């Protein structure tokens, strides 16, 4: 009995020793995975959260260069003091830029853009309130000589250059015409240099402040007042008033004339008419091609006629704004061809082709001999 008990205890002791040895061995094997040849211990490195996010989709590629080599990744908007040089960088080997259009209009040498190996650099020296606006960049993808904008990588920031003396973004235009259409919103573009400035919209006649409900009429400091569903009752002369956050005096914006447009958009609506469709030799006649359209849409004219290239003719193009009905504004564009001292070669069909950015229309009329 005592011998059986001795053997049982001996077997239990051996099992415990084997378990301990295997555990020590497993620990050593796990440790060996962190040791490279040469007996140098390597520290395990786990990627940081910021590094994981750096290449994520939707990340802005636009940054502002700060002092001492620091960078600020830009969001939707940024407020800066005027006068201090602005430097922006956009990551990529080939980059396109957009910025307030007047910098191109006046060929402003304060603006410079330079493409480096890994980024593009935009520098604007001595910025002022007039430079307030959207600055954006994007990657340009090229296949040989053909290049296109990569819309998925576009980054944009609206930059305010806050100026206590210039509450509205300065404009070279002191009286601006705004066209109202029933099928799309209209904007009264009184933008401000500080998003905290309070702005109101006023009509001159009758003198009144326009109610802003946030639905039918709303205000966006980067755009101005937006009228969602324009109607004839919105036509008239308007201005905006801004109240400073530091001064008690207010400022008045550019004046705006709102005109309601009657003619819908599309290819030109054209007509053609001859002063006489039957003429005799030696007579003089004219053919008039007329287009009624949107006030700000340009129309071009071209002609085909008998004796073209052989007979001299006089062609005069013009346009003007006219009121049709109550509060409806339309642009009338005309091209008039004058044929003097009629000859036999002048008889035939006169064809007028009118074209705008949305299409073209062809109209024709005939001139015959009176005999």
First to last CA, the chain: 151
- Which residues touch 283 (CB under 8 Å, ≥6 apart)? 276, 341, 342, 370
Task: Give the bridge partners for 217, in sequence order.
Answer: 227
Tokens standing for residue 306: 């008998």
Map out the domains of the chain with their CATH numbers: 62-161 (2.60.40.10), 175-260 (2.60.40.10), 269-369 (2.60.40.10)
For residues 159 and 84, the answer to whether their CB atoms sit within 8 Å is: no
346: left (phi > 0), else alpha (psi -120 to 50), else beta?
alpha
Q: What is the DSSP letter of 249?
A: -
Phi, psi of 50 (to 5 degrees): -65, -40
Each residue's pLDDT, cut to its tens digit, for the chain (371 residues) gives 555 555 566 655 555 555 544 444 444 444 444 444 444 444 444 333 333 333 345 678 999 999 878 999 999 999 999 999 999 999 999 999 999 988 887 677 899 999 999 999 999 999 999 999 999 999 999 888 888 998 888 999 999 999 988 999 998 778 888 888 888 899 999 999 999 999 999 999 889 999 999 899 999 999 999 999 998 889 899 999 998 877 778 899 999 999 888 666 788 889 999 999 999 999 999 999 999 888 888 999 999 999 899 999 999 999 998 876 555 678 899 999 999 999 999 999 999 999 999 899 999 999 999 87
The answer to whether residues 252 and 213 touch, using CB atoms and an 8 Å cutoff, is: no
Task: Give the C-alpha separation, 284 to 129, whole Å.
Answer: 59
CA distance 367 to 340: 13
Cα–Cα distance for residue pair 247/166, rounded to 1 Å: 12
Secondary-structure breakdown of the chain: helix, strand, coil percentages, each rounded to the nearest 5: 15, 45, 40
Residue 213 tokens, joined = 């409900």
- Cβ distance 94 to 115 under 8 Å? yes
- The DSSP bridge pattern shows strands 133-143 and 62-65 to be unpaired
Distance CA 218, CA 187 (A): 10
Neighbours of 333 (CB within 10 A): 22
């Amino acid at each position: 009995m005592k011998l059986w008990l001795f053997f049982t205890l001996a077997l239990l002791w051996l099992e415990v020793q084997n378990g301990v040895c295997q555990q020590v061995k497993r620990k050593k094997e796990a440790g060996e995975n962190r040791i490279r040849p040469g007996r140098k211990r390597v520290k395990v490195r786990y990627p940081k959260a910021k590094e994981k996010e750096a290449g994520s989709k939707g990340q802005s590629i636009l940054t502002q260069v700060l002092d001492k080599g620091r960078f600020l990744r830009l969001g939707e908007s940024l407020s800066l003091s005027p006068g201090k040089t602005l430097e922006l960088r956009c990551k990529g080997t080939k980059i396109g830029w957009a910025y307030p259009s007047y910098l191109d209009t006046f060929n402003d040498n304060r603006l410079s853009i330079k493409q480096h190996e890994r980024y593009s650099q935009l520098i604007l020296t001595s910025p002022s309130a007039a430079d307030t606006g959207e600055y954006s960049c994007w990657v340009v993808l090229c296949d040989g000589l053909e290049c296109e904008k990569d819309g998925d990588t576009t980054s944009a920031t609206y930059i305010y250059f806050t100026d206590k003396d210039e509450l509205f973004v300065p404009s070279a235009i002191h009286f601006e015409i705004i066209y109202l259409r029933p099928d799309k919103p209209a904007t009264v573009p009184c933008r401000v240099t500080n998003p905290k400035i309070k702005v109101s919209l006023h009509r001159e006649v009758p003198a009144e402040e326009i109610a802003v409900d946030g639905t039918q009429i709303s205000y966006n400091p980067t755009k101005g007042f937006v009228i969602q569903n324009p109607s004839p009752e919105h036509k008239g002369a308007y201005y905006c008033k801004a109240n400073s956050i530091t001064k008690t005096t207010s400022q008045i914006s550019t004046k705006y004339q709102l005109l309601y447009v009657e003619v819908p958009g599309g290819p030109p609506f054209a007509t053609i008419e001859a002063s006489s469709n039957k003429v005799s030799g030696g007579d003089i006649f004219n053919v008039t091609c007329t287009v009624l359209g949107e006030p700000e849409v340009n129309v071009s004219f071209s002609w085909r006629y008998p004796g073209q290239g052989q007979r001299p003719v006089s062609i005069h193009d013009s346009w003007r704004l006219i009121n049709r009905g109550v509060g409806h504004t339309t642009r009338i564009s005309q091209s008039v061809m004058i044929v003097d001292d009629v000859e036999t070669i002048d008889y035939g069909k006169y064809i007028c082709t009118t074209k705008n950015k949305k299409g073209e229309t062809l109209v024709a009329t005939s001139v015959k001999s009176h005999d």
